[in-house]
Structure 1
Amino acid sequence: MEQVVARENMLAALKRVERNGGAPGVDGVPTERLRDQIRVEWSRIREELLQGTYRPQPVRRVEIPKPGGGKRMLGIPTVMDRLIQQALLQVLTPIFDPTFSESSYGFRPGRRGHDAVRKARQYVEEGYDWVVDMDLEKFFDRVNHDVLMARVARRVTDKRVLRLIRRYLQAGVMLNGVVVATEEGTPQGGPLSPLLANILLDDLDKELERRGHHFVRYADDCNIYVRSKRAGERVYRSVRHFLQERLRLEGQRGEERSGPAVEAAVPRV
């Protein structure tokens, strides 16, 4: 935790949060007033972080349209909590990122969406021209906090950091002025969310590698490339079973009634 609250790390986090901007959280404080808030409150908050007693505020629930239709639910933390999450992210990324799969491209330093597209094209050109689309976004409202935290604890030993991350997971959501508890799921919208998703899904990546599958994962979008529709349907069922049994990701109610998302792959620009 000392690394997290170190002056240099916090200054870098502050610059990133200010650069990213974004809407206020439940306290209504905009990014432009974050420095004023720091001057008034940071001494107390820093001490609480070091003592392991800091408690994040609930996130503000918002819906944003997805490019392909539908809506994505986001949880917007307060700017102070975005600052703390960003500081955590800067310390945790060098610990976890080097251990991640080469087939994981989303929200990782030095990796871009174009790299994922290039790899997908390569698989199609090699004859793996059927794609299994594992829509992992559907699973994230059901993430088991104990399963996720066990994976974070593999490389993080500071109990204060582990406690803080769990408190972010359980901070609750503000809906119509009422705080609703979050017993499961990972709120998507804070700086730390993509890293936590990658930590959890790294087990899936490693399992796919162990089985010798050709795949590309960009955050919660995982495509597995196979040679036939029958192989794709078999892989879909097998991977779904792994998600349920090993990661305890159950998906949304009713989602199990839909058929496997297996289709002929089309190279995209």
Structure 2
Amino acid sequence: MNGKRQKTTTQQQQLLLTFAAEGRDEVPDGPVEGTVPIAADLSTESPTSNDKLMERICDPLNFECAMARVIANGGAPGVDGMTVKELEKYFERHAGRITNELLSGTYRPQPVKRVEIPKPDGGVRKLGIPTAVDRVVQQAILLVLSPQWDETFSDNRFGFRPNRSAHDAGRRQGSCCADRWQP
């Protein structure tokens, strides 16, 4: 450090005093004056609370759609060496076992293959490549959860959402100040 003390805000002081009064490793017993209790609003947090999610994820039609997406995306094989072209035959033989493992909670994804991709600036980007089967399972989960959860997100959030991109976020941000900005 450079020897200068950082300015502590009133809220930080209240928090420090609260924890100091309660003991070093304990959380406060109840609400402290001037603080707001943190609690999730379950009505907005979990749109899936009463659904039979794993049954929907394991539905044969859902797996079929997930497999079609993985095959369309292509991609390199994972640690097991299986290509996406081999998926359909594999699932014909093993879909029942995969479904049983998912429903019983015993399904275990395979390790992820580590690959380094060269960057234009000379560095490398490290990628993790799941097996083709694990990608189908991930896609099946995404197909069920995404529609339910996406509708609970703020309209101003763009990261990792269907039909939204960083470019969309930039366009929205730029729309309010594009007339003021000159390149």
TM-score of the superposition, structure 1-length normalised? 0.44
Percent of pairs identical after alignment?
52
Residue 136 of structure 2 is matched in structure 1 by 83
Write the distance in 1 (CA, Å) between the matches of 2:146 and 2:120. 28
Q: Gapped runs of 5+ residues in structure 1?
A: 130-265
Task: Note closer, same or farther for the CA distance 1:18–1:95 as it changes in structure 2 (3 Å cut).
Answer: same
Given the alignment, which residue of 70, 85, 105 partners 2:158?
Answer: 105
Q: Which runs of structure 1 show a deviation greater than 6 angstroms over 4 or more consecutive aligned residues? A: none
Write the distance in 2 (CA, Å) between the matches of 1:14 and 1:36. 11
Write the distance in 1 (CA, Å) between the matches of 2:68 and 2:76. 16
Residue 102 of structure 2 is matched in structure 1 by 49
Deviation at 1:115, TM superposition (A): 1.8
State the superposition RMSD in angstroms.
Answer: 2.3
Task: Note closer, same or farther for the CA distance 1:104–1:2 as it changes in structure 2 (3 Å cut).
Answer: same
Write the distance in 2 (CA, Å) between the matches of 1:100 and 1:70. 35
Write the distance in 1 (CA, Å) between the matches of 2:121 and 2:148. 34
Describe how 1:84-163 pairs up with structure 2 within 5 A: 84-125=137-178
Larger RCO (alpha carbons 8 Å, 6+ apart): 1
Deviation at 1:95, TM superposition (A): 2.1
Tell me if 1:31 matches 2:84. yes
Aligned residues: 130
TM-score of the superposition, structure 2-length normalised? 0.63
Q: Gapped runs of 5+ residues in structure 2?
A: 1-53
Describe how 1:1-269 pairs up with structure 2 within 5 A: 1-66=54-119, 70-125=123-178
Write the distance in 2 (CA, Å) between the matches of 1:67 and 1:94. 36
1:14 corresponds to which letter in structure 2?
A: M
2:142 corresponds to which letter in structure 1?
A: L
- Larger strand proportion of the pair: 1
